[in-house]
A and B are shown apart, each in its own frame.
Chain A
């Protein structure tokens, strides 16, 4: 089943095209990994999918719903883009409680759900008499990622979820995403700069450069090498 369908999408600022995707389809259960250098358009693409910014041309359909026109896609979509998705003056429990309310989860459902992340939280998130604004960047990220998974959404959008996480949390997150997708059939849209993480976690890899998709490959044994090979020459060229 098609989850996300993009048609003739163009985003331009002052006539400078920052995103240009003629066509893209993401199927159910895919873990869609997006890589690209800074300014490649990753966050812009995610923001358009979430209808946070408008496209200059074209449209995004989420399970057949045009995101620009209806709000029904919000029922089955969870997202964490950056810290602006967190409410800084709440404690982690209060924040989860607030999101749970919006996602129509009962109190017991919520606590069962959160218990499942005890390992990922590493005892640093819940039960703290601390507001989210005073959390470290990594712990803030954990709160945001888990909140995005609340209510078992069918589509989850995570922008650079691995950034700011400590090494063992990165491994835990890889497993967490794969397990969650396997258990619920969730479609993930994930971007990251760490090629190893993204190559491990995703089932399909996309390289975005200057707003255009220049590589779109299913994951195989050799995907990581392929992607590394793509980015490496650029670095070496810049070094010289």
Chain B
């Protein structure tokens, strides 16, 4: 029976019209996977040396054990952002002679086959052999390895469970972030030595290997939490949307902006009332704090020039990049209706441009306090603001002409897990890598400051010609109209 379910899932993937066209995405993902596997492998071989060099007074194995907690915490966050939830269109299955637990168990089993569960072993295996096995008995090493194996899968099932929960209550992710930040603080200031405690537990297992068998309970517990959750959700009424009253706020103040205002109001409603774009907006807010991470001054380390580009493009441009990379597919559900209306493509593009401009400028202003750390942020971020509006937006328009995949906003939020996965971030890469590579190119001739100015100028020129650019693309979009309608219908 499970075999049937697997073949169903396989056909669902392969026969979606999107499959054949997503080869580029898959190549990109494969490349990333290769990159991270190699990095982990190399790190795995280097770890014994790093530990003995940096912490000559500690036993390298216990040191390694004591940093694992931090690894699992970061892993949990990354999984929230990147890992795909296992889904199946279960509605047609409900009436068939398949027991609900079978569907739930199938989903859980399928979820295990995930890159995030393979990746840590690239690091773990070399560490086990070169670090642990050399100083401990075979039995102890095996128990240690088994323990970490168990912890990886505990984290996997916990991550999935949380992701399911957060999917219904979006603020959950922020609670998790806050909780982890709190734990980090407690640990950092030595109030409770959490990571040390975890390290001691692992040290103990090396002495009493039998202890590891107790830990097996952990993934089993998380597994059944998942199954219970899935079983409680597998009813049609969970699919058909909520019955409670919606709060319908007034956007008529935007009417003052005339024709463009109408479309901006539509975009704002789209963002606010649909889960997926709303999470994009939330991400924009989180990313404003990215500067705390990369603009930290460390003694002896200067913040490299490109970091200001990266920080600028991410903090100022996050919204336009993550929202714009799916332009115009946000409107794919009712695209044919729009194409029957007396609206000019120009208005459509221009209102998007206006919305992104306003939000980017707001983000720029919000990030200005970072100038207390580095005054030059005032102009590095300005340069990225200009670049983003002048260069990146035309690129998004161009990419949007070939947009293939419909974004289905109409589904209710329960059991709707499309889109939050690694491939979503892939499209954003060129938009971020672009300015960084240009930065290095200009730097050769002009130096750091000259390079910021050059990038800003490039953007400024793009902004100067924005109406010509919008004119050009509105003509191109009109030509692409039938193609876009066909793509959206078939995906």
- The chain A residues found within 8 Å of chain B, CB to CB, are 50-54, 71, 74-75, 77, 79, 81, 84-91, 94, 98-99, 101-103, 129-131, 133-134
Closest 10 CB pairs of A and B: A85-B337, A88-B410, A129-B245, A89-B273, A74-B342, A133-B410, A102-B341, A134-B241, A101-B262, A87-B334
| Minimum C-beta distance from B274 to chain A (A) | 6
Given A89-B409, A90-B269, A84 and B248 touching (CB < 8 A)?
A: no
Hey, which chain B residues are within 8 Å of A51, CB to CB? 339
Sample of 12 further A-B pairs with CB below 8 A, known A87-B334, A89-B274, A134-B242: A50-B340, A53-B482, A74-B340, A84-B333, A84-B336, A85-B336, A87-B266, A88-B334, A89-B273, A98-B262, A131-B246, A133-B412
The docked-state distance in angstroms from the alpha carbon of A79 to that of B336 is 10
How many chain-B residues does the 8 Å CB contact rule pick out?
A: 31
Q: What is the 8 Å Cβ interface bit string for chain B, positions 183-215, against chain A (1 contact, 0 not)? A: 000000000000000000000000000000000
| Minimum C-beta distance from B422 to chain A (A) | 27
- The chain B residues found within 8 Å of chain A, CB to CB, are 241-243, 245-248, 259, 262, 266, 269-270, 273-274, 333-337, 339-343, 409-410, 412, 478, 482, 485-486
The docked-state distance in angstroms from the alpha carbon of A75 to that of B333 is 22
| Minimum C-beta distance from B60 to chain A (A) | 56
5 CB contacts below 8 A, A to B, read A51-B339, A77-B340, A81-B336, A87-B333, A129-B246
| Minimum C-beta distance from A124 to chain B (A) | 14
Hey, which chain B residues are within 8 Å of A131, CB to CB? 246, 273
* Closest B residue, CB atoms, query A144: B337
Contact in complex: B337, A86 (CB < 8 Å): yes
Contact in complex: A84, B340 (CB < 8 Å): no
Given A74-B340, A89-B270, A134-B242, A84 and B262 touching (CB < 8 A)?
A: no
Contact in complex: A130, B245 (CB < 8 Å): yes
Q: Which one of A74, A85, A103 lies within 8 Å of B334 (CB-CB)? A: A85
Hey, which chain A residues are within 8 Å of B478, CB to CB? 71
Hey, which chain B residues are within 8 Å of A103, CB to CB? 341-342
Contact in complex: B247, A129 (CB < 8 Å): yes
The docked-state distance in angstroms from the alpha carbon of A133 to that of B411 is 8
The docked-state distance in angstroms from the alpha carbon of A36 to that of B42 is 67
* Closest A residue, CB atoms, query B277: A89
Contact in complex: B273, A99 (CB < 8 Å): no
Hey, which chain B residues are within 8 Å of A102, CB to CB? 262, 341-343
Contact in complex: B334, A86 (CB < 8 Å): yes
The docked-state distance in angstroms from the alpha carbon of A1 to that of B342 is 23
Given A88-B409, A94-B269, A98-B262, A130 and B340 touching (CB < 8 A)?
A: no
Hey, which chain B residues are within 8 Å of A81, CB to CB? 336
Contact in complex: B341, A99 (CB < 8 Å): yes
Contact in complex: A91, B246 (CB < 8 Å): yes
Contact in complex: A54, B241 (CB < 8 Å): no
The docked-state distance in angstroms from the alpha carbon of A143 to that of B259 is 23
* Closest B residue, CB atoms, query A74: B342
* Closest B residue, CB atoms, query A76: B342
Hey, which chain B residues are within 8 Å of A87, CB to CB? 266, 333-334, 337
The docked-state distance in angstroms from the alpha carbon of A140 to that of B259 is 26
Hey, which chain B residues are within 8 Å of A134, CB to CB? 241-243, 246
* Closest B residue, CB atoms, query A47: B336
Contact in complex: B342, A88 (CB < 8 Å): no
Hey, which chain B residues are within 8 Å of A75, CB to CB? 342
| Minimum C-beta distance from A224 to chain B (A) | 31
The docked-state distance in angstroms from the alpha carbon of A19 to that of B1 is 43
Hey, which chain A residues are within 8 Å of B341, CB to CB? 74, 99, 102-103
The docked-state distance in angstroms from the alpha carbon of A89 to that of B248 is 10
Contact in complex: A84, B337 (CB < 8 Å): yes
* Closest B residue, CB atoms, query A151: B342
| Minimum C-beta distance from B211 to chain A (A) | 53
Contact in complex: A133, B485 (CB < 8 Å): no
Hey, which chain A residues are within 8 Å of B335, CB to CB? 84
Interface centre among A79, A81, A88, A91 (most CB of B within 10 A): A88
Hey, which chain B residues are within 8 Å of A133, CB to CB? 241, 410, 412
| Minimum C-beta distance from A105 to chain B (A) | 12
Given A52-B339, A74-B340, A84 and B334 touching (CB < 8 A)?
A: yes
The docked-state distance in angstroms from the alpha carbon of A53 to that of B340 is 12
* Closest B residue, CB atoms, query A131: B246
* Closest A residue, CB atoms, query B255: A101
Interface centre among A79, A89, A102, A129 (most CB of B within 10 A): A89
Contact in complex: B485, A53 (CB < 8 Å): yes
| Minimum C-beta distance from A11 to chain B (A) | 12
The docked-state distance in angstroms from the alpha carbon of A102 to that of B42 is 60
Hey, which chain A residues are within 8 Å of B412, CB to CB? 133
The docked-state distance in angstroms from the alpha carbon of A38 to that of B364 is 56
| Minimum C-beta distance from A189 to chain B (A) | 13
Hey, which chain B residues are within 8 Å of A90, CB to CB? 266, 269
Hey, which chain B residues are within 8 Å of A129, CB to CB? 245-248
The docked-state distance in angstroms from the alpha carbon of A101 to that of B262 is 8
Contact in complex: A91, B248 (CB < 8 Å): yes
* Closest B residue, CB atoms, query A133: B410
